[in-house]
Amino acid sequence: MTRRWYLICLLSLVALPIRAISQETTSSRTDMNACILCHNSLDDDEMATPVSTWRRSVHRSEGVSCQDCHGGLPNSMVKENAHNPDAGYLGVLDSTVVPEVCGTCHQQQRENYVSSPHGIAGSFSPNCVDCHNDHEIVHPQVTRIAIPDKCNNCHEDSTLEEFIGLVTQALVPISDARQEVETLRPTGVSVDFIQAQVELAKNTYSSQVSHVFTFSTIKPQVKFLQMDFDEINKDITAVRDEVNTRRKFGWVIIVLLVFMAGIIWMYRKSLPDEE
Ligand code: HEC
Ligand code: HEC
Ligand code: HEC
Ligand code: HEC
Ligand code: HEC
């Protein structure tokens, strides 16, 4: 091996652990506060399990921790300080408080929810955590959330099937287009304008439909979204065609170059020897 190779190997040996350590510290920053340290060690299961369930949530990786929902002081190991109402400690959140607390960060969802049949039914039932869980909150999948035991106390199966069908009709084109953009990106053709259109269509749809839970509102919006995606998919096809043309063109050039190299080689061979 040359000296350059030794240097590269040595550098990567040093760089790997440094990377691992820096990743470790980013996750432990949200992972370690007094709420977590103390609750994790409590014998009472109900008081300890929120820590392990929260660890499996999207909130943990986004740095949303205990005090963001419950209030209180996350840097004191004295329970009375950590739980001090003057520090905003709210205790267990009841169903009227939940939409307010979640809504501090998820404003649009809260707005649509409070005027939906579920919000104005009076008792906020079902509320955010009935559908999404309290600690183990994950990326929502409509089929998982609308599982019958969460909804069929109040609804016929046919209502739920219709709901799942409608929302799926909207979510599938969104995720398909996002995937398509990611497959096309490495080819070097610009896909940013498509991505922007996808996100705009998605946000418009969400602001009108997410959590309104009223068929007469959802149906026309799903139609609009599908019309948007008819246009977006035309753009995607155009980009895909461009990629294919570039690829073919690339091959033609390679073949031409090889051909020319052959000609030059043959030409040089045909020259009389200089000696
Ligand atoms: C030194 C230990 C300790 C710390 C620190 C601590 N807790 Fe607690 N927490 C407890 C205990 C013990 C209980 C069980 C009820 C009790 O004894 O008050 C509890 C109960 C709770 C409850 C249930 C409702 C209630 O008040 O009983 C919530 C919610 C809660 N803690 C959230 C938090 C949050 C959020 C933090 C950080 C800001 C935190 N805790 C910090 C020990 C602690
Ligand atoms: C996204 C908001 C959110 C976060 C983050 C969160 N909680 Fe909670 N927690 C809730 C809600 C809402 C409830 C009320 C229970 C319900 O309605 O299901 C609750 C209930 C609790 C309870 C009472 C459980 C019971 O069975 O009585 C404890 C203890 C608790 N949380 C501790 C914690 C600790 C410790 C953390 C950090 C690891 C944490 N929570 C993070 C929203 C949150
Ligand atoms: C009746 C069940 C239900 C209730 C109640 C509910 N959600 Fe949802 N939530 C869903 C479903 C289903 C989805 C997935 C796709 C969709 O329909 O928008 C979702 C999606 C989400 C998303 C992902 C982004 C989006 O809008 O699609 C967030 C964030 C969210 N909910 C937060 C909340 C908050 C905050 C509350 C309370 C104010 C709440 N949810 C109440 C069922 C519910
Ligand atoms: C301190 C701010 C904050 C609070 C409070 C909060 N969240 Fe979140 N939540 C976030 C962030 C940040 C994300 C990740 C980015 C995103 O997807 O919006 C997230 C993600 C989510 C997601 C997944 C969204 C997706 O598209 O995958 C759901 C569902 C959700 N939160 C529901 C809730 C519920 C229910 C509550 C109340 C119990 C709550 N959140 C309280 C900040 C918060
Ligand atoms: C505590 C009772 C309750 C629960 C649980 C509940 N809902 Fe509802 N929901 C209602 C009420 C009340 C209405 C308004 C009257 C109606 O249309 O049935 C409604 C309306 C709806 C509508 C609109 C129906 C229409 O004709 O426009 C949909 C869709 C819906 N709910 C879906 C769900 C889903 C999905 C779940 C589970 C994630 C759920 N609901 C859980 C009480 C509930």
Residue 139: predicted pLDDT: 86
* 260/255 Cα distance (integer angstroms): 9
Domain boundaries, the chain: 142-275
Closest protein CA for atom 43 of ligand 5: 154
pLDDT of res. 145? 72
What is the 3-state composition of the chain as percent helix, strand, coil, each rounded to the nearest 5? 70, 0, 30
Residues of the chain with pLDDT under 50: 1, 7, 9-11, 13-29
CA-wise closest residue to 28 among 68, 8, 55, 67: 55
209: number of Cβ within 10 Å: 22
How many angstroms separate the alpha carbon of residue 92 from the centre of ligand 2? 7
| HSE, side-chain direction, 13 A CA sphere, residue 72 | 25
60 in contact with ligand 2, CB cutoff 6 A? no
Cα-to-centroid distance, 262 and ligand 4 (Å): 63
Strand, helix or coil for residue 111: helix
Q: Is 167 in the pocket of ligand 3 (CB under 6 A)?
A: yes
CA distance 210 to 194: 23
Mutate to test the pocket of ligand 5, among 132, 142, 159 (most ligand atoms within 8 A of CB): 159
Give distance in angstroms: CA of 135 to centre of ligand 2: 6
Ligand nearest to the CA of 210: 3
Q: Say how many CA atoms lie within 13 Å of 125 toward its Cβ.
A: 8
Ligand 5 centroid to Cα of residue 35, in Å, is: 36
For ligand 5, is residue 165 a contact (CB within 6 Å)?
no
Ligand 2 site, residue 135, Cβ cutoff 6 A: yes
- Specify the pLDDT at position 18: 43
Query: What pLDDT, on the 0 to 100 scale, is given for residue 246?
Result: 87
- State which CATH number among 1.10.3110, 3.40.50, 3.30.70, 1.20.140 fits the domain covering 142-275: 1.20.140
CA–centroid distance, residue 243 to ligand 3 (Å): 38
| pLDDT at res. 22 | 41
Nearest to 30, CA basis, from 64, 69, 57? 64
pTM (predicted TM-score):
0.85
Task: Give the separation between CA 209 and CA 41, rounded to whole angstroms.
Answer: 42
Instruction: Please tell me the number of the ligand nearest to residue 45's CA.
Output: 2
State residue 9's pLDDT score. 45
